[in-house]
Structure 1
């Protein structure tokens, strides 16, 4: 399964990280059906990711991590996505958020240092931003979750939706409205007043376990206020490059579908033919379309990630490329899965067929940020700026 991605391995460090990710990809493959059926990722899988050091990769080297680059994040996430996409997407939020904090450095130095130490010692984090009232947080709605200043800190009350990897989280970055402006607070999942409501029951990406997070008058100390989103903090803003962990997973799904279809046509020969299906011209044509779609999306995605790493001075201008890379990757992944199912035929719809799960999972890419309409708006506006 490395054949398609091998050309994007640039050096020994890339190969080392791919080898690490491959070990986890193999384990994810073994538990993929169980994860989909039970709609949760077994604890031992997350524990193994902690023990191998994978969950600490974005932490600075001086703090015990590997200072993972954006390119490396994409490389790892695609490999994990080949195994079981919902677990890959889930851990990608943890990795991506740490990458974002590493790039922007928006927090007080001692707060960030403590979080890094926690992560090296096994803490899993995620953001809690989405709400029923506001919808997609990238659209800028003011959070309905409220943080109220009190003596020694704040109390936070509200409900968050789509809290991915919820059963395994140790800390969560909660976005709340505080004195009229959005702000981020670091909340321990063990805090009094924090609870999860099991609302996650979806068609695809079932193992992300993105349940509702309920905060009922949760007290946090003053130092838990991490970042406010007013004009004074504008210098800390950067386009959300870390979200490239998402399209990488969907390319992993597409690659898994391609291999599944390839294995099928290489071994299946109906009695109406003298050769296996792989020798039929229209089958070869479909594989050609899959290859063209995936190689185009991969080159685009990895090129954008490499540009982010190489040229920090250009990052503020890269939002259109970042958004377009996600759009292209997800569109290509859906096309690849669709063609793979056309190749395999009606049996691809059966529950026992791997392609049935891959189809359900790949559709979720349409609903991960940024949305297609927002991407087109950003690209359109960029033309006027030029």
Structure 2
């Protein structure tokens, strides 16, 4: 089914490159989860083939991949190891957004392009214990104070995904003198930067989303790279589709396991594998239906975003795709476990890992309640506008 979403020879070439890494990445996935360690070996393999630079535009020396391209590859990578996919997805998304929206000065973009070409890994550090997700509008407790043409930054960030391998932290901080939030580009080796290993969770254990500690961190003026009044402010960000792509990949992996199991598991009470049973076929059929629905929503949204003529007409579609795919992925994994039965609960069975990890999608932005509320408010406002036109 996924074959129909491959549109270019370049996409196929990169899928072939990932396929060559499948065995090594897949073999390490269970150990990463069991020991709650970061998949450094998988990241090294991806760096060797230039994967971190695929969303960097070609004019900056990158792969020039679109959101659609990214989604296609990230879904595939997640079917090998979801921890690797989600962790890498943040770099791909950040780079894609930075250069599409030209969020920084030309000098800073040129500088950072060289870093990305050399395999630099980056993520935004925005969440804090007191504020929760920044999408809910909380002001960061991390603060930046100007001193002698430098900025002095202090604070603590949570959910810093891929922290063991991040080369740069794109960190939000409250700037008192400006009375607004700014983003600072901070290198991992800057004095005062440290990671506290706090990530002790049941889902996505291998993302190592530890706390980032910033203690009297000094950065230059040029490292204040973004302010909220930037012209790109308020625009939708299609690069966030890397999130549902990962959870769709988990669903695909669960589906593959369930179908294989159904075709090979034959209790002595049956004359054929359980795939011959109507109830099993019904579950597998529902899984296929939900996978197809999710793919058309996700890839359709990505395709619309990549088209400049259609992008401006998008409003809630990115959030709808995330909501639809992540919730449907949870249902798919649940049905796969029903096919396999009690064996799916064994620690040695990958389905129990998929079951835990797929639920993490509920807690990635945007949250379901915000999506539903936004849809309702949009419908209400559209109706008001129609009434005002008629009257």
TM-score tier after normalising by the smaller chain length: over 0.9
The 8 Å contact of residues 101 and 232 in structure 2, kept in 1 or not, is answered as no
Determine if the alignment matches structure 1 residue 331 to structure 2 residue 327: yes
Change (3 A) 1:79 1:236: same
Question: What residue number does 1:73 align with?
Answer: 70
CA drift of 1:316 comes to 4.4
What RMSD in Å do the two structures reach over aligned CA positions? 1.2
CA drift of 1:324 comes to 0.4
* Cα shift readout 1:251-309 (whole Å, capped 9, x = no counterpart): 10001001111111111111111111000011000011001111001001000000011
SS in 1 for 2:316: helix
The 8 Å contact of residues 238 and 315 in structure 1, kept in 2 or not, is answered as no
CA distance in 2, matches of 1:5, 1:272: 35
Aligned counterparts, 1:72-151, within 5 A: 72-151=69-148
CA drift of 1:378 comes to 1.5
SS in 1 for 2:73: helix
SS in 2 for 1:271: coil
CA distance in 2, matches of 1:147, 1:174: 11
CA distance in 2, matches of 1:6, 1:24: 19
CA drift of 1:17 comes to 2.2
Question: What residue number does 2:38 align with?
Answer: 41
Determine if the alignment matches structure 1 residue 363 to structure 2 residue 362: no
Aligned length: 380
SS in 2 for 1:204: coil
Change (3 A) 1:191 1:173: same
CA distance in 1, matches of 2:160, 2:269: 51
Question: What residue number does 1:255 align with?
Answer: 252
Question: What residue number does 2:239 align with?
Answer: 242
TM-score by length of 2: 0.95
Specify which of 331, 344, 349 is matched with residue 340 of structure 2: 344
Moved over 4 A (4+): none
Which runs of 5 or more residues in structure 1 are unaligned? none
The 8 Å contact of residues 39 and 84 in structure 2, kept in 1 or not, is answered as no
TM-score by length of 1: 0.96
Question: What residue number does 2:386 align with?
Answer: none
CA distance in 1, matches of 2:199, 2:167: 19
Determine if the alignment matches structure 1 residue 285 to structure 2 residue 286: no
